[in-house]
Structure 1
Amino acid sequence: MSDRDTVIELVKRLPSNLSLREILREIEFIAAVKEGLSEIDQGKGVSIESIEQMIEAWTTK
Structure 2
Amino acid sequence: MLTKEMVYTSLKEMPDEFELDEFIERLVFVQKIKKGLKQIGEGKVKSHEEVKKMVAAWRKL
TM exceeding 0.5 = yes
Root-mean-square deviation over aligned CA pairs: 2.4
Unpaired segments of 5 or more residues in structure 1? none
The structure whose RCO (Cα within 8 Å, separation 6+) is larger is 2
Q: With structure 2 as the length reference, what TM-score do the two structures score? A: 0.72
Q: With structure 1 as the length reference, what TM-score do the two structures score? A: 0.72
**Partner of residue 26, structure 2:** 26
Q: How many residues align structurally?
A: 57
Unpaired segments of 5 or more residues in structure 2? 57-61
**Deviation for aligned residue 1:16:** 1.7
**Deviation for aligned residue 1:50:** 3.2
User: Following the alignment from structure 2 to structure 1, what is the Cα–Cα distance between the partners of residues 37 and 6?
Assistant: 15
